[in-house]
A and B are shown apart, each in its own frame.
Chain A
Amino acid sequence: MTENPSISPPAPDVADCANEPIHIPGSIQPHGALLVLDPADRHVLQASANASAMLGADIAPGKPWPAGAPLVDALLAALTDLPAAGALSGVRRVQAGGRALSVVTSLGAQGLVVELEAPERAEADTFDALFPSIRAFVDRIESADDVAALSQIAAAEVRRMTGFNRVMVYRFGAEWHGTVIAEDSDGTLPSYLDLRFPASDIPAQARELYRRTRLRLIPDADYAPVPVLPALSPLDGRPLDLSGAALRSVSPVHLEYMRNMGTAASMSISILIDGALWGLVSCHHARPLALGPQLRSGCDFIGQLLAMQIGARERGAEAATRLALKNVEAELLARLSRAPSIPSGLGSNTDTWLKLAGAAGAAIVHDGAVLTAGRTPGAEQLTALAGWLRRERSGQIVATAELAQLYPAAHAFMDTACGIVAAPISALHPHYLMWFRPELVHTVQWGGEPGMKRVGSTGGLHPRDSFSKWSEEVRGQAQPWAAAHVDAVDAFRNAIVTFVLKRAEERAQLTEKLETSNKELEAFSYSVSHDLRAPFRHVVGYAQLLRDQHEGFDAQSRHYIESIIDSALAAGQLVDDLLNFSQLGRSALDITRVDVNKLVVECRRSLEIDTAQRAIEWRVAALPPAFADGTLLRQALGNLIGNAVKYTRGREPAVIEISGEERGHEMVYAIRDNGVGFDMAYVGKLFGVFQRLHRIEDFEGTGIGLALVRRIVDRHGGWIAAEGVLNQGAVFRIGIPKPAKEPAP
Chain B
Amino acid sequence: MTNPLRPILLVEDNPKDLELSLAALARCKLANPIEVARDGAEALDYLQGIGGWQGRESGDPAVVLLDLKLPKIDGLEVLERIKTDTRLRHIPVVMLTSSSEERDLVTSYQLGVNSFVVKPVDFTAFLEAIQELGMFWGVLNQPPPRGAAGA
Contact = CB atoms under 8 A, between A and B. Distances in A.
Interface of A: 526, 529-531, 533-534, 536-538, 540-545, 568-569, 572-573, 576, 579-580, 583, 587
Contacts of B69: 530
Interface string B91-127: 0000001111110000000000000000111111010
Contacts of A543: 123
Contacts of B23: 541, 545
B86 interface: no
Given A534-B14, A576-B100, 10 more contacts: A526-B101, A529-B98, A530-B69, A533-B119, A542-B16, A542-B20, A545-B23, A569-B121, A573-B121, A583-B102
B17 interface: yes
Given A530-B69, A534-B17, A541 B99 contact: no
A544 B121 contact: no
Residue among A534, A536, A573 with max Cβ neighbours from chain B (10 Å): A534
User: Dominant SS at the B interface?
Assistant: loop
A533 B68 CA distance: 14
B124 A536 contact: no
Contact of A538 (B17, B97, B101, B102): B17
A229 B37 CA distance: 126
B123 A545 contact: yes
Interface size class of B (residues with CB under 8 A): 20 to 34
B98 A534 contact: yes
22 contacts: A529-B98, A529-B99, A530-B69, A530-B99, A533-B121, A534-B14, A534-B16, A536-B121, A537-B17, A537-B98, A537-B120, A537-B121, A538-B20, A540-B123, A541-B126, A545-B20, A545-B23, A568-B121, A569-B122, A572-B122, A576-B100, A587-B102
A634 to B, nearest CB: 16
A485 B97 CA distance: 70
Choose among B120, B122, B123, B124 the residue with the greatest number of A CB atoms under 10 Å from its CB: B123
A526 B17 CA distance: 19
Contacts of A587: 102
Contacts of B101: 526, 529-530
Interface string B108-151: 00000000000111111010000000000000000000000000
Contact of B122 (A531, A538, A540, A579): A540
Return the 3 tightest CB-CB contacts between A and B, nearest first. A572-B121, A529-B99, A541-B123
Contacts of A540: 121-123
Contacts of B20: 537-538, 541-542, 545
A569 B125 CA distance: 12
A583 to B, nearest CB: 7
Contacts of B16: 534, 538, 541-542
A530 B99 CA distance: 5
B114 to A, nearest CB: 22
Contacts of A545: 20, 23, 123
A343 B16 CA distance: 62
A529 B126 CA distance: 17
Contacts of B123: 537, 540-541, 543-545
B28 to A, nearest CB: 14
Contacts of B97: 530
A625 B100 CA distance: 29
A545 B121 CA distance: 13
Nearest to A571: B121
A531 B98 CA distance: 8
Contact of B100 (A529, A542, A568): A529
Nearest to B119: A537
A583 B100 CA distance: 10
Contacts of A542: 16, 20
A573 B126 CA distance: 15
A579 B100 contact: yes
Nearest to A537: B121
B126 A533 contact: no
Contacts of B17: 534, 537-538
A533 B101 CA distance: 12
A702 to B, nearest CB: 13
A536 B123 CA distance: 10
A542 B121 CA distance: 11
Nearest to B24: A541
A563 to B, nearest CB: 15
Contacts of A531: 98
Interface string B5-34: 000000000101100100100000000000
Contacts of A538: 16-17, 20
B124 A544 contact: yes
Contacts of B119: 533, 537
Contacts of B122: 540, 569, 572
Contacts of B68: 530
A631 to B, nearest CB: 11
Contacts of B14: 534
A521 to B, nearest CB: 13
Contact of A579 (B99, B121, B124, B126): B99
B61 to A, nearest CB: 24
Contacts of A529: 98-101
Interface centre among B98, B102, B119, by most A CB within 10 Å? B98
A54 B102 CA distance: 116
Interface in B38-90: 68-69
A493 to B, nearest CB: 48
A540 B124 CA distance: 9
Contacts of B126: 537, 541
A526 B121 contact: no
A504 B68 CA distance: 42
